[in-house]
Amino acid sequence: MSFPKLVALSEALGVEPWVLAGSSLNWNKGETIGLKELLFNHQVQHDGEILSAEVKEILLEILEATLDADWSKESLLQELQVIGELISELKEI
């Protein structure tokens, strides 16, 4: 990744460029990391505030529910309801 792209990505994500550079420098090609590990082993911020463990847990549940959804005609409404309830839970924090 070129440095200008790294800077643009870091601005879009709201993190310092060295955070992204450090991460990519420490990972070997082919190495993977789980979503849970990614969220809970790093400080994550949104709008200048560090996300709490409770917020991270709900975000993880939203991501997993979305990724695991079949999104079929038969299951779509139920899956959207589950995801919507998780989002409501997140917004109540």
pLDDT digits (tens, 9 = 90+) for 6-22: 777 877 887 766 667 66
Where b means 16+ CB within 10 Å and e means fewer, 14-41 reads: ebeeeebeeeeeeeeeeeeeeeeeebee
The rounded distance, in Å, linking the Cα atoms of 49 and 43 is: 10
Indicate whether this model's pTM tops 0.85.
no
How confident is the model at residue 15, as a pLDDT? Answer: 73
H or E stretch including 50? strand 49-50
